[in-house]
Structure 1
Amino acid sequence: MDLSSEPPRVTIRLPRASAARYLLTPSLSNLGAAYVEGAIEVKGAAKDMIAIVNALARTSLKAEGKFARVVRSIGHDKRKDAEAIRYHYDVSNDFYTKFLDPNMVYSCAYFEHGNESLEVAQIRKIDHILKKIQLRPGQTLLDIGCGWGALVIRAARQYGAKCLGVTLSENQFALARERVAKAGLEHLIEIRLQDYRDVQGQFDRITSVGMFEHVGLKHLPQYFERVNNLLAPDGLVMNHGITSTDPDNGETPYGGGEFIEKYVFPHGELAHIGHVLKAMQQGGLEAFDVENLRRHYALTCALWTDNFEANADDIRVLAGERRFRIWHVYLAGCSYAFEQDWISLYQIVCGKAGRSSAALPWSRDYMYQDKAAAAPSLGAH
């Protein structure tokens, strides 16, 4: 009996009696799959849905003694990695416009006060990255996993850098080239549909934002070694990516990792920050600055979820009900996971071991100087 006078925040409806099995053995994976496949109907705000589902999962798994996170071993090669990228990013460009900021930045934003618009916070993130690596006019910049081109456009326009952006997504490649042309920056920016492992030459600065999660745990040393080989002797690298908070590199707990692997990011693996720093050192790179932006990503995902829900009807038309449900669970679930410290986000500035540190000032004050203040737009919609 519910004696509360308040209406329920979340309602779970079972269209068929057989769906009760999902509630008898609940986990984030099982209940998420049941929602996606239409076996159960859930009404309520996404953040409340995730909290309730997590409470059910925790109760069930506690009773069964299943607290341990699953550690998977996933094979990676160029073909598999390209297929995984296309699965996630080649939904449609219009789909992503419905919840990202106008400049289509699909990675953790950077907030100064926590009340800025998503657009301003995303531009601030890009500037935070480019200031951290001391980007200067005329320097060459490689952006690994360039997305729709927001970072290279900002780097060329505001900092005068000569940029190469590479992506494995055909949709991102096409729109990024279009945006670069519209911005009149083709003389400074080249976009390629190319694996970073096939890039030749050396670059003064390298950025990798939201990409290394696709590399695979076993391949992180080789990834950083390749980045090292692409870096000029006194160059600097920014590696910005999601990490596991489990020292053993385990998945998001209570079945969350299983759901993401099955429905959202095939072959994605998260490493603990300690594992990342070890792999970085094995690749010949030295970490100079490490910053945790976990709560920034929790807020970013919450704002994406708000946009997603505000455009629910349009998204259902673009992607269909099933994909709508997948992404609804995914975005809200990621916000919750960052809030709960199940996963985290680190920015790491690094360079060639024993060589590149001279390119940086002695203190961190330079990172917070308003050399390129956040503008209302990148000018490449």
Structure 2
Amino acid sequence: MKKIFSATISRLVRRGNLKLTFPDGTTMEVGDRTGKPVHVRLNSKRALRGLVFDPAYYLGHYYGTGDIDLVEGDMYDLLETVFTGNPDFKYYDSRWNRLLERVRYPLRWLREKNSIRRSRDNVQHHYDLTGALYDLFLDEDKQYSCAYFETPEQSLDDAQLAKKRHIASKLTMGRPGLSVLDIGSGWGGMALYLARNLGARVTGVTLSDEQFAVSRKRAKAVGLDDEVRFLLEDYRNAPDTYDRIVSVGMFEHVGRPNYLTFFRKAGSLLKRDGVMLLHTIGRTDAPTTNNPFIEKYIFPGGYIPALSEVMRAVEKSGLAITDIEILRVHYAETLRHWRQRFMARRDDAKALYDECFCRIWEFYLAASESAFRWQNLVVFQLQLAHDQQAVPLTRDYIEHGEGCLKAREGDGKARAGGPRKFPQEASI
């Protein structure tokens, strides 16, 4: 095993400064000695076997158990060394990993066939962790999805505000009083933003008990509980019809067997002249399987789609795509902020859970950032409608809408969140 692993890592890291200590105490160094030094210690033979057999799963797994330690550098430094050490060689494209992929691929439907009960269990696995954990690293509004960085130096809070503004502008909400469905409403930030700044009447649906309770409390605290209601409900059971539908960071939990169900249900909930905005993580390459570590420890039942998989379901749903935007690197920057914040308060996270939990989350945040920065992950923003004339002919309205919303956000009442009066016709 040691010989196989040594040969692989030597091919993988041609640039960089990586030192490895094996379970028998021997060491090896790879790379050209440039960049930040990283020293990895393998504490058990099973860790070595795991890295040879399936590194996509076992690197994070055995880091969590303590069978792998970082003596110098951190997990992000290690992943940067691995993913940038040799652009011409990718371990996940080796013959062995392609074989693993072929074995996993036929089982994908079983793992992703999310019934209403199973969807609820999957959501609660992640989102019903104590809210104190998410307070450690999220922005003030608790936006747990990709931010929109208008400038590289923008703060996380400002970039998350810009994300809400960007999405709201694509919803083309030209007058107050429009009804909006927020599918996967999280801790309520998007719903409250639309009500506060655009006079919308919003219904948010979530399967997380924790998010449901926090969202209702937030709406009441800012006097918007008459304009915004939250339901502990699956999207498949969402009531009524709506002028607008928004879904941010939820589609990744739907599962491929349910894509057509999702878009057909959205089509039935959206009025004939309505507009929908879907914000989801996506991949730039062909359809594949879930990352096995993420599947087990972080998001069971989830899947990150290729655009071709999404489009196939949209085409059969009766909805039409009216705009597509690809957000590149924005999520890498978002995750950088989250990772740095988490690591700065790691002791607080350990007090909430334990050392194993912290190591797993270190790996999750670092690996996710790496995937958006150096691999194949991006964010899709898809605008959909029944009528292709439901949105303006050019994209100028997005920038115009953002400008109007910036002015409204500057209003003290708008920031504080109290009820506001709107003109009969708004300017976006």
Is the CA contact 1:144–1:167 (under 8 Å) kept in the aligned structure 2?
yes
Residue 18 of structure 1 deviates from its aligned partner by 5.0
Distance 1:348 1:8 in 2: 39
Is the CA contact 1:27–1:56 (under 8 Å) kept in the aligned structure 2?
no
Distance 2:342 2:307 in 1: 30
TM-score under structure 2 length normalisation: 0.81
1:362 paired with 2:396, answer no
Distance 2:70 2:203 in 1: 45
Q: Identify the structure with bigger relative contact order (alpha carbons < 8 Å, sequence gap 6+).
A: 1
Is the CA contact 2:54–2:97 (under 8 Å) kept in the aligned structure 1?
no
Gaps of 5+ in 2: 1-27, 418-428
Residue 60 of structure 1 deviates from its aligned partner by 5.6
Gaps of 5+ in 1: none
Distance 1:11 1:193 in 2: 47
Residue 328 of structure 1 deviates from its aligned partner by 1.1
SS of 2:258's partner is: helix
SS of 1:115's partner is: coil
Give the number of equivalent residue pairs: 372
Match of residue 314 from structure 1: 348
Distance 1:250 1:150 in 2: 32
Match of residue 12 from structure 1: 40
Distance 2:90 2:141 in 1: 41
**1:106-185 alignment to 2 at 5 Å?**
106-135=144-173, 136-185=175-224
Match of residue 372 from structure 1: 405
Residue 306 of structure 1 deviates from its aligned partner by 1.1
Residue deviations 1:213-234, cap 9 Å, x none? 1111121011000000000110
1:36 paired with 2:64, answer yes
SS of 2:278's partner is: strand
**1:191-210 alignment to 2 at 5 Å?**
191-210=230-249
**1:340-355 alignment to 2 at 5 Å?**
340-352=374-386, 355=387
Match of residue 334 from structure 1: 368
SS of 1:66's partner is: helix
Distance 2:377 2:223 in 1: 39
1:231 paired with 2:262, answer no
SS of 1:191's partner is: strand
Residue 38 of structure 1 deviates from its aligned partner by 1.6
Distance 2:154 2:91 in 1: 39
Q: 1:14 to 1:360 in 2, by over 3 A?
A: same
1:305 paired with 2:339, answer yes
Q: 1:18 to 1:289 in 2, by over 3 A?
A: closer
Residue 340 of structure 1 deviates from its aligned partner by 2.2
Distance 1:310 1:82 in 2: 31
Residue deviations 1:99-143, cap 9 Å, x none? 110110001111111210010010110111111011231000100
Match of residue 255 from structure 2: 216
Distance 1:53 1:38 in 2: 20
Q: 1:56 to 1:203 in 2, by over 3 A?
A: same
Distance 1:174 1:344 in 2: 31
C-alpha root-mean-square deviation of aligned residues, in Å?
A: 2.5
Residue 24 of structure 1 deviates from its aligned partner by 4.3
Q: 1:378 to 1:22 in 2, by over 3 A?
A: farther
What percent identity do the matched residue pairs reach? 35
Q: 1:155 to 1:60 in 2, by over 3 A?
A: closer
Find 2:114's aligned residue among 76, 79, 82.
Answer: 76
- Bigger drift between 127-136 and 36-45 goes to 36-45
Residue 204 of structure 1 deviates from its aligned partner by 0.3
Residue deviations 1:142-194, cap 9 Å, x none? 00000000001100011100011110000000111111111110110001111
Q: 1:7 to 1:16 in 2, by over 3 A?
A: farther
Distance 1:313 1:77 in 2: 37
Distance 1:64 1:273 in 2: 25
Match of residue 78 from structure 2: 49
Q: 1:145 to 1:5 in 2, by over 3 A?
A: closer
SS of 2:229's partner is: strand
SS of 1:276's partner is: helix
1:100 paired with 2:138, answer yes
Residue 358 of structure 1 deviates from its aligned partner by 2.7
TM-score under structure 1 length normalisation: 0.91
Residue 51 of structure 1 deviates from its aligned partner by 2.6
Distance 2:36 2:277 in 1: 45
SS of 2:262's partner is: helix
Q: 1:199 to 1:181 in 2, by over 3 A?
A: same
Residue 379 of structure 1 deviates from its aligned partner by 4.3
1:325 paired with 2:356, answer no
Q: 1:207 to 1:56 in 2, by over 3 A?
A: same
Find 2:326's aligned residue among 262, 276, 292.
Answer: 292
Match of residue 9 from structure 2: none
- Amino acid paired to 2:397: Y
Is the CA contact 1:26–1:56 (under 8 Å) kept in the aligned structure 2?
no
- Amino acid paired to 1:99: F
Match of residue 280 from structure 2: 241
